[in-house]
């Protein structure tokens, strides 16, 4: 696996799935469907991750150490053993903050140019 | 509840199938979680947003899963190749030879040649397999190539003019009525020409019928009036003689004509000294000044002569179509904006022309009717499916061959052949076969194309002419197709086959236990694909059959057999008034009626299926009722008919009386039943009055006739029509219908009778009513025939594929089945076991096919008559039919499985 190599490289800018998966895992550990749901809710349905895309991203993010699989599981009564839960690592949190900062800077540059005034007004809350 | 659970089990199965697209490690690591997530997404969507949304989501999810699988496969392949290319530990194979990507160019070529030789040798060693692959690919490539040649000629090949993409039609456009028409006066054309910063050139044209006199029978020929600069603008010069010069556009100048290659051959016997000869058009002699090349078909293939547009008296009212050549570097949008400005200026100077605009449309858009365009794309899609199925079949076959050759590959690998080399070897084998098969396919296409064209609607190539053939473009396409098929069908077996496990595969027993399962899964997936694709085709074909049957069952409202129809067009210069024309027509009718065998002769201004007149923009109203419609674009078809029309055509009169001679002086009409419904409801309309608009006179209804499909089975006006007396009207020609058994045999006598009265009158559009009606549904019939043939080919290929997979699986499981039977399994149990395996593939394929068909048949919407593109009965019937067919395909191998002799099977090890 080329994970060691990948970690050294800067992961920024994040791809859309990476960004939103990290976003969904900011406040809680979630399984695949919960991530899809959380992202859809946070973006009012604008971003809808598909299963194939999600797990492809998850594999890479695991490899880059941005997220990790959670070994402790909820009460088996409400759980399904096929589910896998993920959480962000410290590195993932750092990368996410850096990406959010980078995006905010870009938006403010656009704002300075005034052309994007109306767009910047709708800036999504990233934290 | 049980249905929901069943549905969940099914989608789970389907998804699992898709997961086989991923590498094994990935599948083990993430497969169960992905499957669970997918099912949850589907179930949640179903609960919150309903079945349709769930279906759509499931489809999107499946597509995404497939896309990511492909992407991962590609990335891993690229990594491998990269690693090989960069040398490293994998660069050197055990026998000391370097792997091809790392070796010198010369060495690579040498190896490739050796591989090719080897490939040919191993192909020749398996003649049965090779023949099946050749036949399959020949059918796939042949069908696709034939259809492509039609699509290419009709829709894609540039028109035979200089820079045809720079040509744009200037259409008059009325936004409130959404009506496009070409009607420019000479004066307006001058304004357009002034916009020379946008248009390089603007020219006018119009089509007109000419009566050609002289030696031979008088003929009615389609001609075109063109402005002097038009032919130079198109960049086409006459093959003999010269083009028009400006002086010939002046009023009173000598009359000149340029003729088509066809007219020159037919009328002048290809006489090269034709220039200067005279051609009588109507009442005037025209001097022939040139002959256009055969490829020149402007504005359509029907047009056979051209005369110059001349400045007519009463300037400004003669109206023409306008064709412009756009300046290079000007965008359509810029030109459109400028055209809008000019239109506005023109309107200001001519206030009564207010309300119209100009739309610029590429001249290319005119080349094929929308319905035909859709039909051609549908056909191309259908053959594409056939080709895909053919590829899947070949991939399937080569997979089984790869299985049986695993031993050989393992030996090669053990002797030092790299994985890449083994893969290349197998790819070359497939590619070679497909290229040869493609060649056979081209021969097949060449043979089949005339057959296809025989059924093509005659208006398919009205602009480009009828030279659809296998030419260089089509050959290049076929080559591309064959190569792609070879790569597509060879890639999976090549990758699989090259994964030969050196130690394991050398041991025969281990072979059966290790990779058989995976191979089998791949082959199962291919069969599922084939079944799914052929179901889509079958459903499309079934919908068309359904639609065609309904089309044929339409009651046209009159008797269509034994009816000969033709038109005569007396020139207004020689028959100036209605009464002169009436006398002439009465004589024609009388003489024809006296011919032996003739049961009746009648006349109208137009006959089905092309109909009579149409009144545009009317607000029709029955006296004492409000107008039922006030739409500005409302149109009403009507026909002028002679007194015995209803009797001869055998149209039932429901109420009232037919027309009588005295009606020519009265404002009377006969209306259709549908029209009565619309304007009078349940009342009887007899004796009541009707008018087409507040400005129009009142007309009294004297009769009600049964509904007639004036415009063919697909009557766009919904059976609403009325009839007026024909006598005392001054129309441009009349349609004459002769009812007689063996009517066509009367034709020479009929023509002679007309020419006895006037030998300068052309008798045109001679047809049997039944032929006319057949032509009016030629397009649906064409589509039906082709799509059905493709569907049958598809199902046959899929059936062969399924049979192959199941019988192969039975042969692989011989030992297992033998043990089962030795342990006491009944024959029925074994048969069910095998059938179940085949049927699960068929069912999954059918379900996927249903999904696909649901998404795709909407493209057929405009082509279907009286059938919904998602007609549930058709979907269900075809799906069940396909499953039954699959059952048959599985039954033979299943039956063979029961014949396994346990002792023989066990001894085989």
Phi-psi region of B328 (alpha: psi -120 to 50; beta: other; left: phi over 0): beta
Q: Enumerate the residues of chain B whose CB falls inside 8 A of the CB of residue A53.
A: 64, 68
Domain end, chosen from B730, B761, B792, is at B761
When CB atoms are compared, the residue of B29, B36, B44 closest to A82 is: B36
| Residue B752 falls inside a structural domain | yes
Give ipTM to 2 decimals: 0.82
Could you tell me which residue, B328 or B647, shows the higher pLDDT?
A: B647
Q: Which of B15, B18, B68 to mutate to test the interface with A (most CBs of A within 10 A)?
A: B68
What is the 8-class DSSP label of residue B156? I
Amino acid B670: pLDDT = 95
When CB atoms are compared, the residue of A51, A59, A82 closest to B61 is: A51
Residue B434, SS3 per DSSP:
helix
Q: Which domain holds residue B870?
A: 515-553+773-909
B80 touches chain A (CB under 8 A): no
Q: Which of A30, A52, A61, A80 to mutate to test the interface with B (most CBs of B within 10 A)?
A: A52
B518 to chain A nearest CA, in Å? 21
Residue B193 has pLDDT above 50, yes or no: yes
Q: Which of B36, B53, B62, B75 to mutate to test the interface with A (most CBs of A within 10 A)?
A: B36
Are B808 and B881 members of one domain?
Answer: yes
Pairing of strands A85-88, A30-31: antiparallel
| Residue B385 falls inside a structural domain | no
Contacts across the A-B interface (CB distance below 8 Å): 57
pLDDT band at A93 (very low <50, low <70, confident <90, very high): very high
User: Which chain A residue has its CA at the smallest distance from B70's CA?
Assistant: A52
| Residue B850 falls inside a structural domain | yes
Pairing of strands B722-725, B668-672: antiparallel
Amino acid B481: pLDDT = 86
Alpha-carbon distance of B662 to B644, in angstroms, equals: 13
Amino acid B905: pLDDT = 66
Judged by CB atoms closer than 8 Å, whether chains meet at B41 and A51 is answered as: yes
Domain end, chosen from B322, B354, B386, is at B354
Are B3 and B116 members of one domain?
Answer: no
Longest dimension (CA), chain B: 108
- DSSP alpha helix (H) spans, B176-320: 186-194, 230-234, 261-268
Backbone CA torsion sign across B884, B878, B522, B477: positive
Residue B589's contacts (CB-CB under 8 Å, 6 or more residues apart) are B601, B602, B603, B642, B736
Nearest to B192 by CA among B354, B321, B351: B321
pLDDT band at B351 (very low <50, low <70, confident <90, very high): low
A71 to chain B nearest CA, in Å? 15
B40 to chain A nearest CA, in Å? 7
Alpha-carbon distance of B804 to B463, in angstroms, equals: 47
Q: Give the percent of chain B with pLDDT over 70.
A: 89
Nearest to B136 by CA among B377, B382, B398, B376: B398
What confidence tens digit (pLDDT) does each residue in B161-192 have? Answer: 888 888 898 888 776 656 677 777 777 788 88
| Residue B386 falls inside a structural domain | no
CATH match of A3-121 with 2.60.40.10: no
A83 to chain B nearest CA, in Å? 5
Judged by CB atoms closer than 8 Å, whether chains meet at A51 and B34 is answered as: yes
**Are residues B514 and B422 in contact, defined by beta-carbon separation less than 8 angstroms?**
no
Judged by CB atoms closer than 8 Å, whether chains meet at B72 and A56 is answered as: yes
Q: Enumerate the residues of chain A whose CB falls inside 8 A of the CB of residue B66.
A: 52
Backbone CA torsion sign across B533, B536, B539, B544: negative
Q: Enumerate the residues of chain A whose CB falls inside 8 A of the CB of residue B40.
A: 33
Residue B757 has pLDDT above 50, yes or no: yes
Judged by CB atoms closer than 8 Å, whether chains meet at A31 and B33 is answered as: yes
Are B539 and B668 members of one domain?
Answer: no
What confidence tens digit (pLDDT) does each residue in A32-55 have? Answer: 999 999 998 888 878 889 999 999
Residue B638's contacts (CB-CB under 8 Å, 6 or more residues apart) are B612, B613, B614, B615, B721, B722, B723, B724
What is the count of structural domains for chain B? 5
In DSSP terms, which residues pair with B223 in a beta bridge? B208, B305
DSSP chain A: --HHHHHHS--PSPPHHHHHHHHHTSSS-EEHHHHHHHHHHHTTTS----HHHHHHHHHHHHHTTSEEE--S---GGG--TT--EEEE-HHHHHHHHHHHHHHHHHHHHHHHTSTTHHHHHTPPP--
| Residue B392 falls inside a structural domain | no
Judged by CB atoms closer than 8 Å, whether chains meet at A51 and B37 is answered as: yes
B48 to chain A nearest CA, in Å? 13
Residue B91 has pLDDT above 50, yes or no: no
* Beta strand ranges found along B616-672 (DSSP E): 621-622, 636-641, 653-656, 668-672
CA distances from B179 to B99, B173, B355, B358, B760 (A): 67, 6, 11, 11, 38
What confidence tens digit (pLDDT) does each residue in B20-59 have? Answer: 888 888 999 999 999 999 999 988 888 887 777 787 788 7
Are B721 and B839 members of one domain?
Answer: no
| Residue B768 falls inside a structural domain | no
**Are residues A96 and A67 in contact, defined by beta-carbon separation less than 8 angstroms?**
no
Alpha-carbon distance of B820 to B469, in angstroms, equals: 59
Alpha-carbon distance of B433 to B132, in angstroms, equals: 10
Judged by CB atoms closer than 8 Å, whether chains meet at A36 and B26 is answered as: no
Amino acid A127: pLDDT = 34
Judged by CB atoms closer than 8 Å, whether chains meet at B66 and A52 is answered as: yes
B16 touches chain A (CB under 8 A): no
Backbone CA torsion sign across B655, B709, B788, B446: positive
Amino acid A51: pLDDT = 93
Judged by CB atoms closer than 8 Å, whether chains meet at A36 and B41 is answered as: yes
Amino acid B590: pLDDT = 93
Provide the residue ranges of all domains of chain A, joining segments of one domain with +. 3-121
B33 touches chain A (CB under 8 A): yes
Q: Enumerate the residues of chain A whose CB falls inside 8 A of the CB of residue B33.
A: 31-32, 55, 82-84
Q: How far is CA B833 from the centre of its chain?
A: 44
Q: Average the pLDDT over B277-292 and give the result.
A: 88
Amino acid B612: pLDDT = 75
Alpha-carbon distance of B196 to B325, in angstroms, equals: 10
Q: Average the pLDDT over B353-364 and give the result.
A: 76
Judged by CB atoms closer than 8 Å, whether chains meet at A55 and B69 is answered as: no
**How many other C-beta atoms are found inside a 10 Å radius of the C-beta of residue A58?**
24
Judged by CB atoms closer than 8 Å, whether chains meet at B64 and A51 is answered as: yes
What confidence tens digit (pLDDT) does each residue in B464-492 have? Answer: 655 778 888 888 888 888 888 888 888 87
Question: B737 phi and psi, to 5 degrees?
Answer: -115, 130
CA distances from A87 to A35, A38, B104, B814 (A): 10, 14, 50, 50
When CB atoms are compared, the residue of A32, A51, A80 closest to B65 is: A51
Q: Enumerate the residues of chain B whose CB falls inside 8 A of the CB of residue A31.
A: 33, 37
**How many other C-beta atoms are found inside a 10 Å radius of the C-beta of residue B624?**
9
Are B604 and B727 members of one domain?
Answer: yes
Residue B545 has pLDDT above 60, yes or no: yes
* Size of chain A in residues: 127
Are B532 and B580 members of one domain?
Answer: no
What's the token pair of residue A126? Answer: 């990233």
Alpha-carbon distance of B431 to B755, in angstroms, equals: 66
Calculate helix-pair angle for A16-24, A32-42, nearest 10 degrees. Answer: 100
The 3-state secondary structure of B452-482 reads HHHHCCHHHHCCCCCCCCCCHHHHHHHHHHH
Residue B748 has pLDDT above 50, yes or no: yes
Are B676 and B787 members of one domain?
Answer: no
**Are residues B699 and B667 in contact, defined by beta-carbon separation less than 8 angstroms?**
yes
Judged by CB atoms closer than 8 Å, whether chains meet at A83 and B38 is answered as: no
Q: Give the percent of chain A with pLDDT over 70.
A: 75
Residue B556's contacts (CB-CB under 8 Å, 6 or more residues apart) are B608, B708, B709, B713, B773
DSSP B300-360: -TT--EEEE----SSTT-S-BEEEEEEPTT--HHHHHHHHHHHHHHHHHH-GGGTT-EEEE
Q: Which of A17, A51, A61 to mutate to test the interface with B (most CBs of B within 10 A)?
A: A51
Could you check whether the bond before residue B188 is cis, i.e. omega within 30 degrees of 0?
Answer: no
Report the range of poorest mean pLDDT among A22-26, B251-255, B535-539, B670-674: B251-255
What confidence tens digit (pLDDT) does each residue in B410-461 have? Answer: 777 777 777 777 777 778 888 888 888 999 999 999 998 888 888 887 777 6
Amino acid B657: pLDDT = 94
What's the token pair of residue B838? Answer: 């085949």
B317 touches chain A (CB under 8 A): no
Amino acid B87: pLDDT = 43
Q: Enumerate the residues of chain A whose CB falls inside 8 A of the CB of residue B72.
A: 56
Are B787 and B888 members of one domain?
Answer: yes
Alpha-carbon distance of B655 to B661, in angstroms, equals: 19
The chain-wide mean pLDDT, for chain A, equals 79
Q: Which of B14, B16, B40, B59 to mutate to test the interface with A (most CBs of A within 10 A)?
A: B40
Candidate ranges B369-378, B414-423, B801-810, B867-876; pick with highest mean pLDDT: B867-876
Are B612 and B723 members of one domain?
Answer: yes
What's the token pair of residue B302? Answer: 């029907």
What's the token pair of residue B153? Answer: 């000629």
Are B720 and B586 members of one domain?
Answer: yes
Are B536 and B604 members of one domain?
Answer: no
B31 to chain A nearest CA, in Å? 9
Could you tell me which residue, A1 or B699, shows the higher pLDDT?
A: B699
Are B129 and B148 members of one domain?
Answer: yes
Q: Average the pLDDT over B607-625 and give the result.
A: 81
**Are residues B257 and B287 in contact, defined by beta-carbon separation less than 8 angstroms?**
yes
Residue B572, SS3 per DSSP:
coil
When CB atoms are compared, the residue of A36, A52, A82 closest to B32 is: A82
A9 to chain B nearest CA, in Å? 18
Judged by CB atoms closer than 8 Å, whether chains meet at A31 and B37 is answered as: yes
Which residues of A lie inside 8 Å of B (Cβ-Cβ)?
31-33, 36-37, 50-56, 58-59, 80, 82-84
| Residue B383 falls inside a structural domain | no
Q: How far is CA B287 from the centre of its chain?
A: 42
Alpha-carbon distance of B257 to B279, in angstroms, equals: 8
When CB atoms are compared, the residue of B32, B37, B68 closest to A36 is: B37
Nearest to B199 by CA among B329, B316, B343, B359: B329
What's the token pair of residue B79? Answer: 């990594």
B677 touches chain A (CB under 8 A): no
CB within 8 Å of chain A, chain B residues 36-65: 36-38, 40-41, 44, 60-61, 64-65
Residue that is written with structure tokens 């990269």 in the block? B82
As a dihedral over the C-alpha atoms of residue B626, residue B631, residue B633, residue B639, rounded to 10 degrees, the angle is -20
* Beta strand ranges found along B75-176 (DSSP E): 167-174
What confidence tens digit (pLDDT) does each residue in B295-328 have? Answer: 888 888 788 999 998 866 544 456 788 999 988 8
What's the token pair of residue B146? Answer: 């034939």
Residue A112's contacts (CB-CB under 8 Å, 6 or more residues apart) are none
B147 touches chain A (CB under 8 A): no
Q: Which of A2, A50, A58, A60 to mutate to test the interface with B (most CBs of B within 10 A)?
A: A50
Q: Average the pLDDT over B540-566 and give the result.
A: 90
The chain-wide mean pLDDT, for chain B, equals 82
Q: Enumerate the residues of chain A whose CB falls inside 8 A of the CB of residue B37.
A: 31-33, 36, 51, 54-55
Judged by CB atoms closer than 8 Å, whether chains meet at B33 and A55 is answered as: yes
| Residue B242 falls inside a structural domain | yes
Could you check whether the bond before residue B299 is cis, i.e. omega within 30 degrees of 0?
Answer: yes
């Amino acid at each position: 696996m080329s994970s060691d190599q990948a970690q050294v490289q800067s992961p920024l800018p994040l791809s859309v799935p990476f960004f939103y998966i990290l976003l969904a895992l900011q406040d809680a550990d979630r399984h695949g469907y919960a991530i899809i749901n959380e992202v859809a809710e946070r973006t009012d349905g604008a971003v809808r991750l598909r299963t194939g895309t999600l797990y492809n991203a998850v594999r890479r993010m695991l490899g880059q150490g941005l997220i990790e699989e959670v070994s402790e599981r909820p009460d088996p009564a409400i759980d399904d053993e096929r589910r896998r839960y993920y959480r962000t690592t410290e590195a993932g949190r750092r990368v996410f903050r850096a990406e959010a900062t980078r995006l905010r800077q870009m938006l403010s540059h656009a704002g300075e140019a005034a052309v994007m005034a109306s767009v910047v007004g709708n800036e999504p809350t990233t934290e | 509840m049980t249905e929901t659970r069943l549905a969940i089990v099914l989608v789970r199965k389907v998804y699992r199938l898709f997961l086989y697209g991923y590498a094994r490690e990935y599948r083990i690591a993430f497969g169960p979680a992905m499957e669970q997530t997918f099912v949850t997404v589907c179930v949640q969507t179903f609960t919150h947003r309903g079945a349709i949304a769930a279906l759509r989501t499931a489809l999107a999810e499946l597509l995404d899963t497939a896309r990511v699988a492909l992407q991962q496969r590609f990335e891993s392949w690229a990594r491998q190749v990269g690693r090989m290319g960069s040398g490293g530990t994998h660069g050197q194979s055990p026998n000391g030879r370097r792997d091809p990507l790392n070796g010198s160019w010369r060495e690579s070529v040498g190896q490739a040649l050796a591989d090719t030789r080897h490939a040919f040798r191993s192909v020749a060693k398996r003649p049965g397999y090779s023949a099946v692959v050749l036949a399959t690919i020949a059918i796939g490539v042949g069908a696709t190539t034939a259809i492509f040649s039609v699509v290419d000629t009709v829709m894609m090949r540039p028109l035979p003019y200089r820079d045809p993409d720079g040509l744009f039609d200037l259409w008059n456009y009325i936004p409130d009525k959404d009506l496009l028409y070409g009607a420019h006066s000479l004066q307006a054309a001058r304004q357009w020409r002034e916009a020379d910063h946008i248009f390089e050139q603007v020219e006018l044209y119009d089509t007109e019928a000419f009566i050609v006199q002289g030696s031979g029978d008088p003929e009615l020929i389609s001609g075109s009036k063109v402005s002097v600069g038009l032919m130079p603008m198109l960049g086409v010069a006459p093959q003999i003689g010269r083009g028009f010069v400006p002086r010939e556009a002046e009023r009173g100048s000598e009359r000149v004509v340029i003729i088509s290659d066809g007219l020159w051959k037919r009328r002048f016997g290809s006489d090269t000294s034709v220039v200067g000869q005279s051609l009588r058009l109507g009442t005037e002699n025209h001097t022939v000044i040139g002959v256009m090349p055969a490829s020149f078909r402007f504005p359509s293939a029907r047009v056979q002569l051209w005369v110059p547009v001349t400045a007519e008296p009463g300037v400004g009212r003669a109206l023409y179509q306008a064709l412009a050549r756009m300046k290079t570097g000007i965008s359509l949008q810029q030109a459109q904006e400028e055209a809008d400005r000019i239109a506005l200026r023109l309107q200001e100077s001519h206030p009564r022309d207010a309300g119209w605009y100009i739309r610029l449309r590429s001249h290319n858009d005119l080349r094929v009717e929308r319905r035909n365009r859709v039909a051609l794309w549908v056909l191309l899609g259908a053959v594409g499916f056939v080709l895909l199925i053919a590829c899947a079949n070949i991939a399937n076959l080569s997979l089984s061959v790869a299985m049986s050759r695993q031993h050989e590959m393992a030996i090669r690998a053990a002797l030092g052949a790299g994985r890449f080399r083994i893969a290349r070897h197998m790819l070359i084998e497939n590619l070679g076969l497909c290229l040869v098969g493609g060649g056979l396919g081209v021969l097949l296409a060449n043979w089949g194309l005339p057959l296809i064209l025989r059924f093509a609607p005659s208006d398919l190539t009205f602009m480009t002419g009828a030279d659809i053939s296998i030419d260089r473009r089509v050959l290049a396409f076929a080559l591309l197709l064959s190569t792609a098929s070879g790569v597509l069908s060879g890639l999976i077996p090549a990758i699989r086959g090259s994964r030969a496990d050196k130690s394991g595969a050398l041991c025969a027993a281990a072979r059966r236990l290790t990779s058989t399962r995976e191979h089998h899964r791949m082959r199962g997936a291919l069969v599922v694909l084939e079944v799914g694709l052929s179901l889509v085709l079958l459903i499309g074909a079934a919908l068309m059959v359904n639609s065609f049957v309904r089309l044929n069952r339409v009651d046209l409202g009159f008797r269509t057999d034994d009816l000969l129809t033709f038109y005569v067009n007396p020139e207004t210069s020689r028959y100036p008034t209605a009464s002169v024309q009436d006398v002439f027509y009465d004589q024609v009718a009388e003489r024809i009626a006296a011919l032996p065998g003739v049961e009746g002769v009648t006349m109208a201004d137009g006959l089905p299926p092309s109909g009579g007149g149409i009144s545009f923009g009317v607000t029709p109203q029955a006296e004492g009722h409000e107008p039922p419609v006030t739409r500005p674009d409302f149109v009403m078809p009507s026909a002028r008919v002679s007194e015995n029309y209803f009797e001869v055509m055998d149209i039932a009169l429901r109420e009232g009386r037919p027309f009588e001679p005295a009606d020519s002086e009265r404002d009377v009409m006969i209306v259709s039943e549908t029209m009565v419904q619309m304007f009078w409801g349940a009342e009887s309309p007899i004796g009541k009055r009707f008018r087409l608009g507040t400005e129009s006179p009142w007309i009294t209804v004297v009769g009600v006739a049964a509904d007639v499909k004036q415009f063919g089975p697909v009557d766009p006006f919904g059976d609403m029509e009325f009839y007026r007396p024909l006598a005392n009207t001054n129309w441009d020609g009349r349609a004459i219908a002769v009812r007689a058994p063996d009517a066509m045999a009367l034709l020479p006598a009929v023509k002679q009778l007309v020419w006895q009265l006037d030998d300068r009158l052309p008798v045109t559009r001679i047809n049997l009513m039944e032929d006319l009606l057949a032509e009016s549904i030629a397009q649906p019939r064409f589509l039906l025939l082709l799509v059905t043939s493709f569907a049958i080919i598809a199902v046959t290929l899929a059936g062969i594929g399924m049979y192959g997979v199941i019988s192969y699986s039975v042969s692989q499981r011989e030992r297992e089945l033998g043990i089962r039977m030795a342990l006491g399994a009944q024959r029925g149990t074994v048969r069910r076991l095998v059938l179940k395996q085949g049927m699960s593939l068929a069912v999954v394929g059918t379900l996927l096919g249903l999904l696909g068909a649901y998404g795709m048949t909407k493209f057929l919407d405009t082509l279907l008559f009286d059938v919904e593109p998602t007609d549930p009965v058709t979907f269900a019937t075809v799906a069940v039919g396909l499953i039954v067919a699959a059952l048959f395909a599985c039954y033979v191998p299943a039956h063979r499985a029961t014949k396994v002799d346990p002792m023989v099977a066990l001894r085989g090890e």
